[in-house]
Amino acid sequence: MKRFLANTTVKSNQKNTSIIADLKALFKAVVLISNVLPVFAGFWLALYFTNTSFMDYWQVFLLTIIGSTCIMAGALLLNNWYDVDIDSVMKRTQNRPTVTGTISLQLVFLMGVSFSVVGFILLLFVSLEAGLYALIGWVTYVFLYTMWSKRRYASNTLIGSLSGAVTPLIGWAAIAPVTHIVPITLFLLLFIWQMPHTFAIAMKKHDEYKAAKVAMLPVVQGFQVTKRHMLLYILCLFPLPFFLGSLGVPFLIVATLLNIGWLMVAIRGFFTKDDLKWANRMFIFSLNYLMIMLVMMIIVATF
């Protein structure tokens, strides 16, 4: 009897773990969280620059975060639903529940639409402008990137970057109109940052993208062209911290040092013999770069 109960508990725990893993893969948990953080940063900076108390806007904050999370989750679900043929070829996505069949495509589609609708409704309660930026991001990611350009054009990364770049605008628009230099600079920062970040991923997974016939730049034009593009985009980041000078000299110094560090890593790519190892370094640096930048902004706006 004890052995039976123990086996039942183990199987139950394994089933629960499997369900959690499937949901994490389905919602692309890491991508979802990384997109919500800029929303939070935009909201927090708007409070700081408008000299507004968080306690006066805590309900708006909840609606903004929950609404933006829902609409991003909906877009990611629809991406999984549409890209099931690609995901079945690529090694890193073959365990997604849309590929394994543990969650039906019909259910994933319905979840994607439902989360998207709920997200839009919540953000419209926040402000029409916040809802508009969310709509731009959603349409860009679902239609212009996933369904139109991803399989056809090497410029798909440029198109897809627009959807990630509007995230801080959603947070800022919850408090004030996006007419300040700070949210505009945040938009440019996110837009430009995504290019070398995504190219690094595309280089790391070159063979998988090639097998899936996804028109990523490294697949279409090769590594050397991709490296030149990455270098150019990183150079474009250099002026942006100076438009955020109101965040203080320490922020300006750290941001500039991060840009210099990323540039140095990028230049090394032209002299390396192991492109995949270098691409991984670029990917890791890009993650740390964005995290440090956003956290610094939040800290400055807090203290």
Q: Cα separation of 187 and 1, whole Å?
A: 61
Q: What is the DSSP letter of 248?
A: -
Per-residue b/e over 2-29, b at no fewer than 16 CB within 10 Å? Answer: eeeeeeeeeeeeeeeeeeeebeebbbbe
Q: Cα separation of 197 and 293, whole Å?
A: 15
Q: What is the pLDDT of residues 56-87, one digit of tens each?
A: 999 999 999 999 999 999 999 999 999 999 99
- Could you tell me if 293 and 255 are in contact, meaning their C-beta atoms sit under 8 angstroms apart? yes
Q: Cα separation of 269 and 222, whole Å?
A: 13
pLDDT at 299: 96
Domain range list for the chain: 18-302
- Fold exhibited by the domain 18-302: Farnesyl Diphosphate Synthase (1.10.600)
At residue 178, φ and ψ (nearest 5 deg) are -85, 75
Q: Cα separation of 265 and 206, whole Å?
A: 20
Alpha helices in the chain (DSSP H): 2-26, 29-49, 58-82, 84-87, 97-100, 105-126, 128-139, 156-165, 167-173, 181-204, 206-211, 217-221, 223-237, 249-268, 275-302
pLDDT in tens, the chain (303 residues): 644 434 444 344 445 457 788 888 888 888 898 999 999 999 999 999 999 999 999 999 999 999 999 999 999 999 999 999 999 989 888 888 999 999 999 999 999 999 999 999 999 999 999 999 999 999 999 999 999 999 999 999 999 999 999 999 999 999 999 999 999 999 999 999 999 999 999 999 999 999 999 999 999 999 999 999 999 999 999 999 999 999 999 999 999 999 999 999 999 999 999 999 999 999 999 999 999 999 999 999 998
Q: What is the pLDDT of residues 102-133, one digit of tens each?
A: 999 999 999 999 999 999 999 999 999 999 99
Residue-wise DSSP of 79-104? HHHHTHHHHTTSGGGTTSHHHHSSS-
Q: What is the DSSP letter of 1?
A: -
pLDDT at 171: 98
